[in-house]
Structure 1
Amino acid sequence: MNGARWKPNVTVAAVIEQDGRFLLVEEHTEAGLRLNTPAGHLDPGESPAEGCARETLEETAHAFTPTALIGIYMARSRHAPDGEDVTYMRFAFAGTLGAREAGRALDEGIVRTVWMSADEIRASVARHRSPLLLQCVEDYLAGRRHPLDLIHVDASVR
Structure 2
Amino acid sequence: MRFLPHVTVATIVERQGRFLMVEEISGNSVVFNQPAGHLEADESLMQAALRETLEETAWTVELTGVTGIYLFRGANGETYQRTCFSADALEHRPELPLDDGILAAHWLTLEEIRARESRLRSPLVLQCILDYLNRPRYPLDLIR
Fold agreement, TM-score > 0.5: yes
For this pair of structures, how many residues does the alignment match? 144
Residue in structure 2 matched with residue 91 of structure 1 by the alignment: 83
Amino acid at match of 1:38: P
Give the gaps of 5 or more residues in structure 2.
Answer: none
Alignment of 1:72-111 (within 5 A): 72-79=69-76, 85-111=77-103
1:88 CA displacement = 0.7
Q: Distance in 2 between matches of 1:51 and 1:129?
A: 19
Q: TM-score, normalising length from structure 1?
A: 0.87
Aligned pair partner of 1:137 in 114, 129, 141:
129
Aligned pair partner of 2:18 in 3, 18, 21:
21
- Give the CA RMSD over aligned residues: 1.1
Q: TM-score, normalising length from structure 2?
A: 0.95
1:143 CA displacement = 4.4
The higher radius of gyration belongs to 1
Amino acid at match of 2:41: P
Q: Percent identity?
A: 45
Query: Is structure 2 residue 43 aligned with structure 1 residue 51?
Result: no
Residue in structure 2 matched with residue 65 of structure 1 by the alignment: 62
Residue in structure 2 matched with residue 156 of structure 1 by the alignment: none
Give the gaps of 5 or more residues in structure 1.
Answer: 80-84, 153-158
1:104 CA displacement = 0.5
Deviations 1:121-147 (A, max 9, x none): 122110001210000000111142101
Tell me, what secondary structure is at the counterpart of 1:16? strand
Aligned pair partner of 1:126 in 118, 122, 129:
118
